[in-house]
Each structure stands twice: as structure tokens, then as C-alpha cells.
Amino acid sequence: MNRLRAFGGFWYDFVVGDEWSVAVGVLAAFGSAAALVHVGVDAWWLVPAAAAGLLVVSVLRAARS
């Protein structure tokens, strides 16, 4: 059980890390892109744009603290 907990803890730290809001934003971007593609919109640009925007917000938030 300790190895399973360590494995789960690694993936949580790897995906979420210190900024849970960035992880939620990336998941929202993937979901939005999938929904747009499902209705026929070419949404390849959404995830990279969201990632860049989330990076800027995260860096600005870190610079303020």
C-alpha cells in the first residue's frame, strides 16, 4: 500500500504541483477544445493559448508574493 500511495503522490505532485489553479485551467482548456471539436470547430489553438495565458498568470502571481 505504501508504494501505491507513493505512486499516487508522485502523480499528484507532478500534475498539480504548487498551482492547483493551473492544473484546473489546463483541464478546462482540454475539455473546451474537445467540446469545440465535437461541434465541428477547428480548436487546435485553444490548448496552447490557454497554457501560455495560464503561465503568464502564474508567473505574475508568483512575482507578487
Residues of the chain with pLDDT under 70: none
* Per-residue model confidence (pLDDT) at position 49: 97
Q: CA-CA distance, 47 to 43, in Å (whole number)? A: 8
Q: CA-CA distance, 47 to 64, in Å (whole number)? A: 26
- Helix ranges (H only) for 1-65 are 2-15, 20-38, 46-64
The 8-class DSSP code of residue 17 comes to T
* Per-residue model confidence (pLDDT) at position 30: 97
* Per-residue model confidence (pLDDT) at position 65: 79
